[in-house]
Amino acid sequence: MKQPLQYFIAGALLCTTSLWSYGQTAKATISNDSKLVISKHIYGQFAEHLGRGIYDGFWVDKNMPVKKQDRIRMDIVEALRKIKIPNLRWPGGCFADEYHWRDGIGPRANRPKMVNTNWGGVTEDNSFGTHEFLELCNLLGCEPYISGNVGSGTVQEMSNWVEYLNFDGASPLTNLRKVNGHPEPFKVSFWGVGNESWGCGGNMTPEYYSNEFRRYAAFAKDYHDAKLKKIATGPSDADYNWTESLMKNVGTRMWGLALHHYTLPTGDWKDKGSATQFTEADYFKTMQNCLKMEELVTKHSAIMDKYDPAKKVALVVDEWGIWTNVEPGTNPGFLYQQNSMRDALIAGTNLNIFNNHCERVKMACLAQTVNVLQSLVLTKKEKMILTPTYHVFDLYKVHQDARFLPMKLDAPDYELNGQKIPAVNASASQDASGKVHISFVNLDASKDITIKANMGDINWNNVTGQILTSAKLTDINTFEEPGKIKIAPFSGAKKEGGIVSVVLPAHSVVVLELKN
């Protein structure tokens, strides 16, 4: 089996020189010889107790005039069900390592308040806790992914949480769950053993955390048909030593290793740049930083391969997305930012990278779902808008659990001020009904690019498509104009024998469907 990296596309490592000028047509070849599957869990989401993500996001005041189930906002639920989100990570993030789950169960009037020291220093009433989160996942039709408290919690606390949720026999914790309204076990499989233990989760060394993981994981038990998938804190960005240490000291005791990487427009944490006010030069640098994900996934995977050649351990990119300065006038601890056409291109590019590394990347979670960072949904009182990023997930949902089709693409370069990045990235898959889907992202700010993709021995008769683009990279959806950027039919592709020829408009995301 050839590795997907040999075919891939858009990474900065693979396209260091331009093979095609803009006056020419780029060529691609799609292979039909892979048995790999693009896990649906690559399309996961993240909902932390941060800003207006939970409170005034998913969980609203009982008097707000919107459709609700209990206090769960149903227009958000319905939007997320449409794009088939497969999992939702909660309660953090940094918040996870100061969260004590017993404070969030039982009668809400009796739950103690707590200070969210990581995000804005606000006081929370714990009205949204374990049962509320799992009801939200039930309404969404997705799997819960719970991050346990390793930083300020105890082994017993996490062990008890697992038992409370998953044990179906007789025990004090099972009885407590029944008293709190849920007789049957929840059967939660995905468990994070801490979060960012190298930073806000405890400032640990990789060697120390490796021992902590082994200790916590030993007491997080499998109960009957609720087998745990334990996910270890992995590296931040290019901390390859962390990955080396965890793979050496933990190895296949973990189901997954978490990688966190954010696209910073400026590359500077102190001044990350605006979400809406940027030049083409700013955009170009942002996309350079975005494409670093290819290098990170490749290099971390190579280290994992040394210790786990059978690829039993998943690389879980459970925090990714663009991180800009907050919107002017908003609480800096709430991380509320707008979402532009640039962000849609970032989303499509990252998802293509994950798809093309599906032999190792089995799960990912966009940061975050509602009102925080690169959100899918933004709300303002009873109003709700879907962001350009949401529409990319809508377009790409066709890849979930589909068979991966490796692609070799000779992409032209996008050049600016003497620097180059690959102008196009892409991924392809075939679903259970035989339909082939190809997702293209044209990063060039101003030039259309033609791709001629040889489909080899794949049988197909016609091609249709959808596109997401806008007049300007800085365009956004607003509460006054919520449909400025939306999916539209695409007619720029045609069949030429066994080749699909497609003209990709500048700064666009295009998904083609080929079928008999």
Question: Taking a C-beta distance cutoff of 8 angstroms, is the pair 241, 206 a contact?
Answer: yes
Strand 143-148 and strand 87-90: the pairing is: parallel
- H/E element, 333: none
Strand 37-38 and strand 402-404: the pairing is: antiparallel
Q: Residue 196 catalytic?
A: yes
Residue given tokens 């996870």 in the structure block: 96
Question: Taking a C-beta distance cutoff of 8 angstroms, is the pair 345, 507 a contact?
Answer: yes
ω into 368 cis (within 30 of 0): yes
Q: Residue 481 catalytic?
A: no
State the DSSP string of 5-69: GGT--S-TTT-SS-SS-TTS-EEEEE------EE-GGGGEEE--SSTTSTBTTTB--TTSSS-EE
Nearest to 90 by CA among 155, 125, 142, 168: 142
Cα–Cα distances in Å, from 375 out to 35, 340, 366, 443? 33, 11, 8, 21
Whole-angstrom Cα distance, residue 509 to residue 93?
Answer: 29
In three state form, how does the secondary structure of 116-184 look?
ECCCCCEEECCCCCHHHHHHHHHHHCCEEEEEECCCCCCHHHHHHHHHHHHCCCCCHHHHHHHHCCCCC
Whole-angstrom Cα distance, residue 102 to residue 118?
Answer: 20
Question: Taking a C-beta distance cutoff of 8 angstroms, is the pair 51, 86 a contact?
Answer: no
Count of alpha carbons within 13 angstroms of residue 168, beta-carbon side: 10
State the maximum Cα–Cα separation within the chain, in Å, rounded to a whole number: 72
* Tokens matching residue 424: 């196009």
Strand 114-116 and strand 87-90: the pairing is: unpaired
* Tokens matching residue 473: 């990279």
Q: Which of 124, 294, 319, 359 is catalytic?
A: 319
Question: Taking a C-beta distance cutoff of 8 angstroms, is the pair 404, 36 a contact?
Answer: yes
Residues 6+ apart with CB under 8 A from 125: 108, 111, 113
Q: Which of 196, 212, 294, 359 is catalytic?
A: 196
Question: What residues form DSSP beta bridges with 262?
Answer: 321
Number of neighbouring beta carbons within 10 Å of residue 62:
8
Catalytic annotation, residues:
196, 319
